[in-house]
Chain A
Amino acid sequence: MLEKILLLFCLSSALAENLCRPDASNGYKVRLSIKRALGDEAYVWNQDEMFLFRATLAFAMRNHLSGQDFQVSNILVCDETPRVSFWFIVTSPLDATRPVGKEDVEEAIRKSRSRINSAFLLTDQTLEFIGIIPTLAAPVSPDTPPWLIVFGVVMGSVGAGIIVLLVYPVVHKRLKKDEEEEELEEEEGEEETRRVKTMENGAAGDGAHNLSFTDDERFTQM
Chain B
Amino acid sequence: MAETADSGVKERAKWDNKAQYLLTSIGFAVGLGNVWRFPYLCQIYGGGAFLIPYLIALVFQGLPLLYLELAVGQRFRVGSIGVWKSISPLLGGVGIASMIVSFLVCIFYNTILSWVLWYFFHSFQNPLPWSQCPLNENRTGYNVECEKSTPVNYFWYRETLNISTDIETSGSMHWWLVVCLASAWCVVYICFIKGIESMGKAVYVTATFPYLVLTIFLIRATTLPGATDGLMYLFTPKWEILKNPQVWLDAATQIFFSLSVAFGGLISFSSYNPAKNNCERDAVIVGVINSATSIYASIPIFSILGFKATNVYNSCRMENILDLTNHFELAEQNITLENYDQWFDHLNSTYPDQVASLKLRPCDLQKFLDQSASGTGLAFIVFTEAVIEMPGSQVWAVLFFIMLFSLGLSSMFGNIEGILTPINDLKLLPNWIPHEVKTAIICMICFLTALLFTLSSGNYWVEVFNGYVGSVPLLIIAFFEIIGVVYVHGMKNFSDDIYFMTGSRPNIYWKACWMVISPLMLLVVFVAYVVVQAQKHPTYPTWNPNYDEFPETKVIPYPDWVFAIIILLCVVPVTSIPLVALYRLIRRVRSPDRGDLNNYCNEGFEIETQEQNNRRT
B548 interface residue, CB < 8 Å from A?
no
Q: State which of A84, A150, A151, A159 has its C-beta within 8 Å of the C-beta of B332.
A: A84
Chain B neighbourhood of A161, CB < 8 A: 190
Q: State which of B135, B139, B193, B329 has its C-beta within 8 Å of the C-beta of A166.
A: B193
Taking a contact as CB atoms under 8 Å apart, the answer to whether B186 and A146 are in contact is no
Which one of B118-126, B513-521, B560-568 contacts A?
B118-126
Q: State which of A35, A85, A162 has its C-beta within 8 Å of the C-beta of B193.
A: A162
Taking a contact as CB atoms under 8 Å apart, the answer to whether B139 and A31 are in contact is no
Q: State which of B140, B180, B190, B329 has its C-beta within 8 Å of the C-beta of A83.
A: B329
Chain A neighbourhood of B333, CB < 8 A: 35-36
Chain A neighbourhood of B325, CB < 8 A: 83
- A166-B331 contact, Cβ under 8 Å, with A136-B139, A139-B135, A150-B121: no
Q: State which of A83, A136, A138, A147 has its C-beta within 8 Å of the C-beta of B331.
A: A83
A222 interface residue, CB < 8 Å from B?
no
A67 interface residue, CB < 8 Å from B?
no
Contact with B along A26-56 (1 / 0, CB 8 A): 0000010111100000000000000000000
Q: State which of A83, A84, A135, A151 has its C-beta within 8 Å of the C-beta of B183.
A: A151
Residue of A nearest to B194 (CB): A165
Residue of B nearest to A141 (CB): B134
B330 interface residue, CB < 8 Å from A?
yes
- A162-B186 contact, Cβ under 8 Å, with A35-B333, A83-B331: yes
Taking a contact as CB atoms under 8 Å apart, the answer to whether B330 and A83 are in contact is yes
Residue of B nearest to A80 (CB): B329
Residue of A nearest to B198 (CB): A165
Taking a contact as CB atoms under 8 Å apart, the answer to whether B190 and A136 are in contact is no
Contact with A along B92-120 (1 / 0, CB 8 A): 00000000000000000000000000101
Residue of B nearest to A32 (CB): B332
A82 interface residue, CB < 8 Å from B?
yes
A158 interface residue, CB < 8 Å from B?
yes
A1 interface residue, CB < 8 Å from B?
no
A81 interface residue, CB < 8 Å from B?
yes
Residue of B nearest to A151 (CB): B121
Residue of A nearest to B189 (CB): A162
Contact with A along B302-337 (1 / 0, CB 8 A): 000000000000000000000001100111110000
Q: Once the chains are docked, how many angstroms separate the CA of A84 from the CA of B139?
A: 31
A155 interface residue, CB < 8 Å from B?
yes
Q: Once the chains are docked, how many angstroms separate the CA of A149 from the CA of B124?
A: 10
Contact with A along B168-207 (1 / 0, CB 8 A): 0000000000011001001101100110001000000000
Contact with A along B127-158 (1 / 0, CB 8 A): 00000101100011110000000000000000
Chain A neighbourhood of B193, CB < 8 A: 162, 165-166
Q: Once the chains are docked, how many angstroms separate the CA of A41 from the CA of B329?
A: 22
Taking a contact as CB atoms under 8 Å apart, the answer to whether A136 and B121 are in contact is no
Q: Once the chains are docked, how many angstroms separate the CA of A162 from the CA of B609?
A: 52
Chain B neighbourhood of A166, CB < 8 A: 193, 436
Taking a contact as CB atoms under 8 Å apart, the answer to whether B329 and A35 are in contact is no
Minimal beta-carbon separation of B159 from chain A (angstroms)? 11
Q: Once the chains are docked, how many angstroms separate the CA of A82 from the CA of B328?
A: 10
Residue of B nearest to A163 (CB): B190
- A147-B194 contact, Cβ under 8 Å, with A136-B141, A158-B186: no
Minimal beta-carbon separation of A84 from chain B (angstroms)? 7
Taking a contact as CB atoms under 8 Å apart, the answer to whether A34 and B132 are in contact is no
Q: Once the chains are docked, how many angstroms separate the CA of A85 from the CA of B326?
A: 9
Q: State which of B135, B183, B189, B194 has its C-beta within 8 Å of the C-beta of A155.
A: B183
Contact with B along A130-170 (1 / 0, CB 8 A): 00000110110000001111110011001101100110000
Q: State which of B118, B135, B186, B330 has its C-beta within 8 Å of the C-beta of A138.
A: B135
Q: Once the chains are docked, how many angstroms separate the CA of A82 from the CA of B329?
A: 7
Which residues A98-149 have CB closer than 8 A to chain B?
Answer: 135-136, 138-139, 146-149
Taking a contact as CB atoms under 8 Å apart, the answer to whether B332 and A146 are in contact is no
Taking a contact as CB atoms under 8 Å apart, the answer to whether B190 and A158 are in contact is yes
Q: Once the chains are docked, how many angstroms separate the CA of A162 from the CA of B187?
A: 9
Taking a contact as CB atoms under 8 Å apart, the answer to whether B330 and A147 are in contact is no
Taking a contact as CB atoms under 8 Å apart, the answer to whether A138 and B139 are in contact is yes
- A85-B329 contact, Cβ under 8 Å, with A136-B141, A150-B121, A166-B193: yes
Q: State which of B121, B132, B183, B332 has its C-beta within 8 Å of the C-beta of A33.
A: B332
- A154-B329 contact, Cβ under 8 Å, with A136-B141, A147-B124, A166-B193: no
Q: Once the chains are docked, how many angstroms separate the CA of A162 from the CA of B191?
A: 9
Taking a contact as CB atoms under 8 Å apart, the answer to whether B329 and A139 are in contact is no
Taking a contact as CB atoms under 8 Å apart, the answer to whether A82 and B331 are in contact is yes
Chain A neighbourhood of B140, CB < 8 A: 136
Residue of A nearest to B120 (CB): A150
Residue of B nearest to A161 (CB): B190
Minimal beta-carbon separation of A136 from chain B (angstroms)? 6
Minimal beta-carbon separation of A135 from chain B (angstroms)? 8
Contact with A along B278-302 (1 / 0, CB 8 A): 0000000000000000000000000
Minimal beta-carbon separation of A80 from chain B (angstroms)? 10
Taking a contact as CB atoms under 8 Å apart, the answer to whether A154 and B183 are in contact is yes
Contact with A along B476-502 (1 / 0, CB 8 A): 000000000000000000000000000
Taking a contact as CB atoms under 8 Å apart, the answer to whether B186 and A165 are in contact is no
Chain B neighbourhood of A147, CB < 8 A: 118, 121-122, 124-125
Residue of B nearest to A162 (CB): B190
Taking a contact as CB atoms under 8 Å apart, the answer to whether A36 and B332 are in contact is yes
- A83-B326 contact, Cβ under 8 Å, with A33-B332, A138-B135: yes
Q: State which of A34, A82, A136, A146 has its C-beta within 8 Å of the C-beta of B125.
A: A146
Chain B neighbourhood of A138, CB < 8 A: 135, 139
Residue of A nearest to B135 (CB): A136
Minimal beta-carbon separation of A28 from chain B (angstroms)? 15
Q: Once the chains are docked, how many angstroms separate the CA of A207 from the CA of B189?
A: 60
18 contacts between A and B (CB under 8 A): A33-B332, A36-B333, A83-B325, A83-B329, A135-B139, A136-B141, A138-B135, A146-B124, A147-B122, A147-B124, A149-B124, A150-B121, A158-B183, A159-B186, A162-B186, A162-B190, A165-B198, A166-B436
Q: 3 closest pairs, A vs B, by CB?
A: A81-B329, A147-B121, A82-B331
Q: Which residues of A contact B (CB under 8 A)?
A: 31, 33-36, 81-85, 135-136, 138-139, 146-151, 154-155, 158-159, 161-162, 165-166
Extra pairs beyond A84-B331, A149-B124, A166-B436 (16, CB < 8 Å): A31-B326, A34-B332, A36-B332, A82-B331, A136-B139, A139-B132, A139-B134, A146-B122, A146-B124, A146-B125, A150-B121, A154-B121, A158-B190, A162-B189, A165-B190, A165-B194
